[in-house]
Every structure is written in structure tokens, then in C-alpha cells.
């Protein structure tokens, strides 16, 4: 278990290996669900923010914080993947997928200029990223 809740804050322990918990099965498990009834997961954070945006018609903000090597970049990628999968036309909206792909595909270029090897991480981001996604 790499996820746990502390109040409404999701705490993640980076396993430093790929886990099979980010597939369409897991996306469908969290999509439209009461996330409190499911195990802690980064998809629960994305689902809660997305649903609150739709229900309350209020802006949402997800802050990802942690030390070098904590997995912040990967967490952001998983949130983007989840939002793209559940928004639009049942996840088949080409415009939504295109925007997600542009953002995710920008990572290698940003990493080429802004990443460095550190003691804890061979590919550590040395800069902050701010994404703003608008829905209409």
C-alpha cells in the first residue's frame, strides 16, 4: 500500500517501481464513485476535484508537494491521465486527449532543460510546474 489518507490529504510513498494500479480498471473503479468507500489512490483525489468542480461549479486546486524523488511528477501525470479519461465524451473526446497528450509530451523537453541527477533521484525536476485546465 503506497497510499494513505491523513484527513483529506493523500500521502504517497514512492515505490520506485511501476505498479499495475493506474490502468483502465482502476480508472473505472474511481470514476463517478464515492471515493471514501474505496482504497486511497491518486485517482480518488482527481475524482473528488473533478466532481466538486462539476457539482459546485467552483474552481479546484490540487497541490502536489514533496521532497526530491517523492514522485511528484508521476503523481501529476496520473492526475492528468485520469482527468482526460473521465472528461469529455466518456473519455473518447479527441480534443481532451490531445490536450492531455500535449501536456504530457511536453515533459521530456522540460526535463531536458530543467532536470538533474541528485543523490536521491537520477532525473530530478529542478523547477516547479503549474498547470491550469479550464472546462466549459
Domains parsed from the chain with CATH numbers: 3-125 (3.40.850.10)
First to last CA, the chain: 36
Distance CA 33, CA 73 (A): 25
Binding residues: 66-73
Asked whether the CA dihedral 52, 53, 59, 60 is positive or negative, the reply is: positive
Q: Alpha-carbon distance 89 to 96, whole Å? A: 9
Q: For residues 75 and 87, give the distance between their C-alpha atoms in angstroms, rounded to a whole number.
A: 18
| pLDDT greater than 60 at residue 136 | yes
- Report the run of H or E that residue 10 belongs to, with start and end: strand 9-12
> CA–CA separation, 107 vs 28, rounded Å?
26
Asked if the model's pLDDT at residue 91 lies above 60, the reply is: no
pLDDT band at residue 89 under the 50/70/90 scheme: low
Q: Which residue has the higher pLDDT, 64 or 16?
A: 64
Q: Sorting pLDDT into bands at 50, 70 and 90, what band is 92?
A: low
Per-chain mean pLDDT for the chain: 89
Residues of the binding site for ATP:
66-73
Residue 46 pLDDT more than 60? yes
Amino acid at each position: 500500500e503506497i497510499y494513505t489518507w491523513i484527513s483529506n490529504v493523500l500521502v504517497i510513498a514512492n515505490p520506485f517501481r511501476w505498479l499495475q494500479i493506474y490502468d483502465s480498471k482502476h480508472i473505472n473503479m474511481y470514476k463517478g464513485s464515492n471515493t471514501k468507500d474505496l482504497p486511497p489512490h491518486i485517482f480518488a483525489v482527481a475524482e473528488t476535484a473533478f466532481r466538486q468542480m462539476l457539482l459546485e461549479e467552483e474552481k479546484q486546486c490540487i497541490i502536489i508537494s514533496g521532497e526530491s524523488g517523492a514522485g511528484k511528477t508521476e503523481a501529476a501525470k496520473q492526475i492528468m491521465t485520469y482527468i482526460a479519461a473521465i472528461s469529455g465524451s466518456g473519455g473518447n473526446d479527441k480534443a481532451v486527449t490531445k490536450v492531455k497528450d500535449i501536456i504530457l509530451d511536453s515533459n521530456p523537453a522540460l526535463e531536458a532543460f530543467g532536470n538533474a541527477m541528485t543523490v536521491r533521484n537520477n532525473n530530478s525536476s529542478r523547477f516547479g510546474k503549474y498547470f491550469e485546465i479550464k472546462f466549459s
